Amino acid sequence: MRRLLILFVFFILAAFFVDTLCPCIDDRPPEVRFEERLNRAYLLTYNNDDFDFSVQYPSFFTVQPDSLIDYAGCAQFCYRADWANIVLEYHVAKPIERVSVKAYAKHVAQRKKADKLRLHGSSFIISGRLYEGYRYHEKHILKNTLWHVYALYYPESYQNHIARLFRMIDRWQIETPEKTPIKSLCCKK
pLDDT tens profile 81-135: 888 899 999 988 887 778 888 999 999 999 999 999 999 988 999 999 988 999 9
Strands of 42-162 (E only): list them: 43-48, 53-58, 62-63, 75-81, 84-93, 114-120, 123-131, 134-143, 146-155
Q: Are the C-beta atoms of residues 148 and 51 closer than 8 Å to each other?
A: yes
- Show the domains of the chain with their CATH numbers: 61-171 (3.40.1000)
Q: What's the whole-model pTM score?
A: 0.77
Q: Is the pLDDT reported for residue 141 higher than 70?
A: yes
Q: What is the pLDDT of residue 24?
A: 72
* Cα–Cα distance measured from residue 106 to residue 114, given in angstroms and rounded to the nearest whole number: 9
